[in-house]
Amino acid sequence: MDTKFMSQRIGKAFRKFFRSGSGKMAFVGAVILVIFVISAVLAPHISPYDPTKRVGRAFTPPNSKHWFGTDNLGRDMFSRVLHGARIALLIALLAVVIASAIGIPLGLLSGYIGGPLDRVLTLVMDAIYSFPGLILAIAVAAVLGTGIVNIAISIAVVYAPTYFRVIRNQVASIKSELYVEAARALGANNWTILIKYVLPNVLPSVVVVLSMNLADAIMTEAGLSFLGLGIAPPTPDWGYDLSNGQRFILMNDWWMIMFPGLAIIILVLGFSLFSEGMNEYLNPNVGQQE
């Protein structure tokens, strides 16, 4: 087929994308993410009740009025799960933005300049990277206290080294590529090389890491609030709701833990499907041999 038009070429690329298993995976992930983002944005308008107020009898199992039941304070679980998506996504995004704002520039500098600066930064970042993420986040959160920004910072501290490592390694290898050498020989200065040549080359892997990190950040946030180090109640938060619900497990009030948990699982699944699919699609050489 002759591909004269851009639209044809895009169409062809799309067909190829959906014919591959990894493309389908990424698509399913993207659909999940879009649904969650929409419900998070629209939560105040579409949720049936105020998530922080008593709106029914406490400990009501799921029914037609309260789809996900009510909690020990008579709050509607469905509204809480819906609003919980806002907090989860907000904190995860904020954390990833902060982490990349620290990790990416440091990685660029470290990989590009090299030398002792590179060695020191790498050593420090590796040490942080090797440390159990959640425990580090717990320590920072314990010092900073609760609040959206504080939690986001605690999580960001954990993930900054990931960006640093990915960027640094890529930059270090791209730096010695011929086309970069050629640009330098033609008189391009360091900034031009960094911005025009190096950055565009590392961006694709950043997108994949970003998506994976969002999944991890949501898990870490849920973990922190499960441990009581997250957002202060009564703000609806999945991790908090889970720890609250656990107190009533022995009374068989399963709905209090089931729905916030499933919300976390599906959202994280969305991110990992998306990132995994994209990663396999962009770097198809892994695991393809017979």
Partner 1 sequence: MSLKTYLLARVLLAIPMVLILLTVVFVVLRIIPGDPVLTLLGGKAPIEVIEAKRHELGLDKPILIQYIDYLGNLLKGDLGKSLLTERPVLEELGDRLPATIELTIFGFIIALVIGIFWGAEAARRHDSVFDVSARVYSIFIYSVPVFWLGMVLQLIFGVWLRVLPVAGRIPPLMEPKHITGLYILDALFTANWESLKEAFRHLLLPGVTLGLIISSVFLRMVRGNMILTLSQDYTRAARARGIKEKSVVYRHALKNAMVPIMTVMGLQLALLFAGAVLTETTFSWPGIGTYLVQKIRYRDFMAVQGAIVIYAVMVVTISIIVDIINAWIDPRIRY
Q: Which residues bind partner 1 (CB under 8 A)?
A: 123-124, 126-136, 138-140, 142-145, 157, 215, 219, 222-223, 226-229, 239, 242-243, 245-246, 249-250, 252, 254, 257-258, 261, 264-266, 268-269, 272-273, 276, 286-287, 289-290
Placement of tokens 């499907």 in the chain: 273
Q: How far is the CB of 61 from partner 1 (least distance, A)?
A: 14
Of 93 and 227, nearer to partner 1 (C-beta) is 227
For 76, list phi and psi in degrees, rounded to 5: -75, 115
Angle CA 146–220–88, to nearest 5: 70
If one counts every other C-beta atom within 10 angstroms of the C-beta of residue 146, the result is 16
Instruction: Indicate the DSSP class of residue 64.
Output: S
Q: How far is the CB of 210 from partner 1 (least distance, A)?
A: 17
Bridge partners of residue 76, in order along the sequence: 70
Q: Which of 95, 61, 77, 70 is nearest to 217 (CA)?
A: 95
| Cis ω for the linkage preceding 234 (within 30 of 0) | yes
Q: Which of 158, 119, 149, 129 is nearest to 231 (CA)?
A: 149
Q: What does the alpha-carbon distance between residue 40 and residue 232 come to, in Å, rounded to a whole number?
A: 19
Instruction: Indicate the DSSP class of residue 62.
Output: S
Of 111 and 223, nearer to partner 1 (C-beta) is 223
Q: What does the alpha-carbon distance between residue 60 and residue 90 come to, in Å, rounded to a whole number?
A: 29
Q: How far is the CB of 252 from partner 1 (least distance, A)?
A: 5
Of 93 and 144, nearer to partner 1 (C-beta) is 144
Of 160 and 194, nearer to partner 1 (C-beta) is 160
Q: How far is the CB of 52 from partner 1 (least distance, A)?
A: 23
Of 101 and 127, nearer to partner 1 (C-beta) is 127
For 31, list phi and psi in degrees, rounded to 5: -60, -45
If one counts every other C-beta atom within 10 angstroms of the C-beta of residue 234, the result is 13
Q: How far is the CB of 80 from partner 1 (least distance, A)?
A: 15
Q: How far is the CB of 110 from partner 1 (least distance, A)?
A: 15
Of 72 and 201, nearer to partner 1 (C-beta) is 72
Q: How far is the CB of 275 from partner 1 (least distance, A)?
A: 10
Of 160 and 167, nearer to partner 1 (C-beta) is 160
